[in-house]
C-alpha cells in the first residue's frame, strides 16, 4: 500500500519536486511512494538523499535480472544505436530470433509468437484472437484476477477497478478463485474442495451464458489476487471444462513466466499446455516487452478470418533484442534452478517469521514468488488494513520496498518477488527487515 504524495525529503529541490508532482501528475492508483528514486542497481534502489532500499518486488514484478543488469544495458546501448523502431509491417532479425527462441522454450504445439509491449496488450490480443477463432465472445476468469487495464483485459480483471467505468465487455464471467487458506467449499477435514468449487463456478457460468463461450483467461498463480496457487490437478480439470464447451484456455504468465517459480513456466507443474500463452513483465526484465504464443493451427485460423492487431510498437527490434539477452542470461546462468534454491531459502525464512509472529496467518507461493498473509487473529483469520499498512510503511522506513495486496475478504498479503539474481545475503537482509517491521508495527498497534 503506497503512501500519499508527501515531502518526504526536506530542502528546496525535493520541495519543488513534490509540488510539481502534486500539480502535474495524474494519480493512477493509490498514492506514490514518498521517496525520490535516483538510480537502481541489482537488488537495490537508491534515493536522491542517499538512502538504499532493497527491492523485494523487482520493480513492477518485472526486473527478474535486477536493475541495470550490465548485459541488458549493453544490449540497449548497442541496439538503440543501430535499429530501434520500424513500421509495424517490417521485420528484423531480433524479432524473428526471439519468436524462434521462445518457441524453443515451450512444449508443442506453441510455436507462433506475436511481440507486443505490455501484459494488458498481450491479453487483449489473445482474447481478440480467441473470439475470432471460436466465433464466440464470452470470457471466463477468476474472481481475484488481474489481466490489465485495456477494455477486454480489464473486463476479465476482478480484483480491482471495475466500478465507475460503465459496462464491461458483454459476456464477462467470474468463477471463484481457489484459495486454500480461505476455502469456500470444504472437504470434511476443512480443506478446499476445489472440484466442487470448480463445478459450481461453471454451473453459474452455464446458467448465464448465451451459448457463446470463447475463452477462459487465468493466471497459473494469482499474484494480485494474493499469491493464490491452485492445487495440483486444478488446471487439468479446468482444461476439461474448456474442452467440453469449445473454449480456448489462455494462461497469463506475466509474473510467473521465465523461471520465477523454479521452472521456465508455471504451467509446467500441471502438465497442461494452454491454447494461448501470454507473457510480459519478466520477458523484458523491466523493459516494455510482451508476447502472445499459440499453435500454428490457431494462428492459421485467425489469419484466415482476417486477424488484425496492428499496434505502434508491435515487433519493435529494440525490445526484442533485450528479450533475446534475457533468454541468454536465464539459460546460461540456470536461473530456473537458482529460483528453486533461493525460493527454498526465502520460504524457510518466511516460515521462521511466521513462527515468531501470530499475525502471520499463512505463507505460500512457489520459487521466488511468495505470499505472506497478515491477520489479527489466526483462528478467525480476521484481516486488518491498518496492520498491513503499518508493516508496509515500517519496511520502507527500514530500507525494504514491499507490496501488499488488501482485498475485501482477505488479509493483507505481501507479494514477495525479489530478482532471480538476488543473493542469499540480500534475501537474509530483506527477511530481517520484514521481521523487525512486523515487530515494530504490532507493538505500536497493540
Instruction: Return the active site residues.
Output: 146, 219, 252, 255, 281, 415
Is the distance from CB of 444 to CB of 432 less than 8 angstroms?
A: no
SS3 414: strand
b or e along 393-432 (b: 16 or more beta carbons within 10 Å of the residue's beta carbon)?
bbbbeebbbbbbbbbeebbbbbbbbbbbbbeeebbebbbe
Vertex 204, ends 203 and 206: CA angle to 5°? 65
Q: Which helix (H) or strand (E) holds 174?
A: strand 172-175
| CA 104/CA 242 separation, integer angstroms | 26
| CA 35/CA 16 separation, integer angstroms | 13
Cell numbers that stand for 160 in this block: 480491482
SS3 6: coil
Cβ neighbour number for residue 199 with a 10 Å cutoff: 13
Q: Which helix (H) or strand (E) holds 55?
A: strand 52-55
SS3 310: coil
**Which residues are bridge partners to 47 per DSSP?**
37
R_g of the chain, CA atoms, integer Å: 22
Closest CA to 286 of 42, 38, 5: 42
**Which residues are bridge partners to 112 per DSSP?**
294
Amino acid at each position: 500500500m503506497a503512501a500519499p504524495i508527501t515531502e518526504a525529503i526536506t530542502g528546496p529541490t525535493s520541495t519543488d519536486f513534490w509540488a510539481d508532482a502534486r500539480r502535474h501528475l495524474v494519480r493512477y492508483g493509490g498514492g506514490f511512494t514518498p521517496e525520490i528514486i535516483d538510480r537502481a542497481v541489482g537488488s537495490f534502489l537508491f534515493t536522491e538523499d542517499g538512502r538504499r532500499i532493497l527491492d523485494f518486488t523487482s520493480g513492477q514484478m518485472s526486473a527478474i535480472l535486477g536493475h541495470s543488469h550490465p548485459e541488458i544495458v549493453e544490449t540497449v546501448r548497442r541496439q538503440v544505436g543501430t535499429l530501434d523502431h520500424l513500421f509495424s509491417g517490417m521485420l528484423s532479425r531480433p524479432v524473428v530470433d526471439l519468436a524462434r527462441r521462445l518457441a524453443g522454450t515451450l512444449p508443442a504445439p506453441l510455436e507462433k509468437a506475436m511481440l507486443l509491449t505490455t501484459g494488458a496488450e498481450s491479453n487483449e490480443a489473445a482474447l481478440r484472437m480467441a473470439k475470432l477463432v471460436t466465433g464466440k465472445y464470452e470470457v471466463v476468469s477468476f474472481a481475484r484476477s488481474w489481466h490489465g487495464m485495456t477494455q477486454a483485459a480489464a473486463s476479465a480483471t476482478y480484483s480491482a477497478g471495475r466500478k465507475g467505468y460503465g459496462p464491461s465487455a458483454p459476456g464477462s464471467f467470474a468463477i471463484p478463485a481457489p484459495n486454500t487458506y480461505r476455502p469456500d467449499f470444504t472437504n470434511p477435514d476443512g480443506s478446499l474442495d476445489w472440484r466442487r468449487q470448480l463445478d459450481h463456478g461453471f454451473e453459474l457460468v452455464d446458467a448465464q451464458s448465451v451459448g457463446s463461450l470463447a475463452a477462459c483467461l487465468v493466471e497459473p498463480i494469482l499474484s494480485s489476487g494474493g499469491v493464490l496457487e491452485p492445487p495440483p490437478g486444478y488446471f487439468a480439470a479446468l482444461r476439461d471444462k474448456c474442452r467440453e464447451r469449445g473454449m480456448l484456455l489462455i494462461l497469463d504468465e506475466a509474473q510467473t513466466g521465465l523461471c520465477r517459480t523454479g521452472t521456465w513456466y508455471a504451467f509446467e507443474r500441471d502438465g497442461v499446455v494452454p491454447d494461448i500463452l501470454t507473457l510480459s513483465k519478466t520477458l523484458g526484465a523491466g523493459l516494455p516487452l510482451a508476447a502472445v504464443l499459440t499453435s500454428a493451427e490457431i494462428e492459421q485460423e485467425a489469419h484466415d478470418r482476417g486477424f488484425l492487431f496492428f499496434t505502434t510498437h508491435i515487433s519493435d527490434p529494440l525490445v526484442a533484442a533485450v528479450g533475446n539477452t534475457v533468454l541468454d542470461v536465464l539459460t546460461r546462468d540456470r536461473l530456473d534452478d537458482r529460483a528453486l534454491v533461493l525460493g527454498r531459502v526465502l520460504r524457510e525464512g518466511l516460515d521462521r517469521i511466521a513462527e515468531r509472529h501470530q499475525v502471520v496467518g499463512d505463507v505460500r507461493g512457489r520459487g521466488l514468488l511468495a505470499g505472506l498473509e497478515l491477520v489479527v487473529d489466526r483462528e478467525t483469520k480476521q484481516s486488518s488494513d491498518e496492520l498491513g499498512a503499518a508493516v508496509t510503511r515500517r519496511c520502507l522506513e527500514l530500507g525494504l520496498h514491499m507490496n501488499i495486496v488488501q482485498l475485501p475478504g482477505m488479509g493483507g498479503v505481501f507479494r514477495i518477488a525479489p530478482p532471480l539474481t538476488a543473493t542469499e545475503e540480500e534475501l537474509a537482509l530483506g527477511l530481517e527487515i520484514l521481521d523487525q517491521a512486523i515487530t515494530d508495527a504490532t507493538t505500536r498497534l497493540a
